[in-house]
Amino acid sequence: MASYRIGVLALVLLSGMILLEIGKEGYVDAQACTRECDAEVAYMTCPSSGDDKISPVCVNCCSASVDCKLFRQDNSVKCIEVA
């Protein structure tokens, strides 16, 4: 009878450990995406516009459309929004 209880306890502990590991994999460090304009962004390019310079823009690195590149005034890339 005691060996049965030990086996059940071991199974419960093992199941819990497996579930905890699965839960870690699905964890995402979520951050809020604000709708504020980033003053550093001078223009952006997007594949949907044929890579033409789009300006003026009121976006930030979080709110830009997928695959759009945001550029600073000196033409350096600030960020690329990816899915």
Determine whether 70 is exposed, middle or buried from the number of CB atoms within 10 Å of its CB (0-12, 13-18, 19+): buried
Do residues 41 and 60 lie in contact, with contact meaning Cβ atoms separated by under 8 Å? yes
* Type of residue found at 31: Q
Angle at 35 between CA 32 and CA 41, to 5 degrees: 110
Q: What would the two tokens of residue 70 be?
A: 């945001």
Q: For residue 42, which of 5, 79, 8, 12 has the smallest C-alpha distance? A: 79
Amino acid identity of residue 51, one-letter, is D
pLDDT in the model for residue 71: 93
pLDDT in tens, 4-54: 777 767 776 766 666 666 555 555 555 677 788 999 999 999 998 887 899
